């Protein structure tokens, strides 16, 4: 009876966290925006300051939730999530890489063209390191580990079908990117479907991590240098 009860608690916690984790990201974002407006209203409307504050909050939140998952799973559990479970195949991996990058790059180009992304000032070296290295590596590693490797495996272990696991994780993943930007929510949901489908079929998380890092580098570079 004790083992059954512990297993049930684990199941409930995984389903609960699909909702709680996006809530944490959005609450942190709202707190940062509110504090910035209260402390320095003139910086609230400056894209460079607002973006820096928000993305710093995102990085801290990423690693905080990674710590939660690492405490639950242990070192071996995290290693088990990351290590590919099936033989690497070039064609599906290349298709996933290209599909994810084309999807998000196309979204960024349209967002820039239609003024959805405000102009940034000229980036200095610390900004380049922060936006083109720290942020993409953090997002690629943590988001894929949690929303593909951890949640999908947990949902499958609970008896959910593959497509239910993909959809549940994709909805949760979409809402960590902000409930106030509908177009970004839609694009990240589609991103989650593609990444989730690849993961369920190939069980190769490093491919998704690399794809995610590359597309984030492209997205930040487009935002900062605005070639559109």
Q: Which residues contact 70 (CB under 8 A, 6 or more apart)?
A: 77, 78
Q: Write the DSSP string, 110-159.
A: HHHHTT-SPPP----HHHHHIIIIIHHHHHHHHHIIIIIIIHHHHHHHTT
More confident residue, 181 or 23: 23
Report the C-alpha gap between 27 and 62 in whole angstroms: 13
pTM of the model: 0.91
The pLDDT assigned to 11 comes to 54
Q: Is 117 exposed, middle or buried, given 0-12, 13-18 or 19+ CB atoms closer than 10 A?
A: middle
What ranges do the domains of the chain cover?
2-225
Is the model's pLDDT at 8 over the cut of 80? no
143-160 pLDDT per residue, tens: 999 999 999 999 999 999
Which candidate, 51, 75, 71, 53, places its Cα nearest to that of 63? 71
């Amino acid at each position: 009876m004790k083992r059954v009860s512990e297993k049930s608690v684990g199941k409930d916690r995984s389903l609960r966290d699909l909702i709680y984790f996006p809530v944490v990201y959005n609450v942190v974002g709202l707190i940062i925006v509110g504090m910035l407006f209260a402390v320095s209203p003139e910086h609230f409307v400056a894209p460079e300051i607002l973006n820096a504050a928000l993305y710093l909050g995102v990085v801290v939140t990423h690693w905080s939730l990674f710590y939660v998952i690492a405490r639950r799973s242990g070192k071996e559990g995290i290693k088990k999530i990351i290590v590919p479970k099936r033989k690497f195949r070039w064609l599906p991996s290349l298709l996933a890489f290209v599909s994810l990058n084309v999807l998000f790059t196309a979204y960024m180009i349209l967002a820039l063209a239609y003024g959805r992304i405000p102009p940034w000032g000229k980036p200095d070296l610390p900004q380049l390191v922060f936006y083109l290295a720290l942020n993409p590596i953090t997002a690629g590693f943590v988001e894929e580990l949690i929303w593909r490797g951890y949640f999908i495996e947990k949902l499958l272990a609970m008896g959910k079908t593959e497509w239910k696991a993909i959809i549940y994780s994709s909805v949760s993943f979409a809402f960590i990117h902000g409930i106030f930007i509908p177009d970004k929510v839609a694009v990240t949901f589609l991103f989650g479907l593609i990444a989730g489908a690849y993961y369920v079929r190939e069980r190769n998380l490093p491919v998704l991590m690399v794809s995610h890092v590359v597309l984030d580098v492209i997205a930040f570079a487009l935002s900062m240098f605005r070639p559109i």
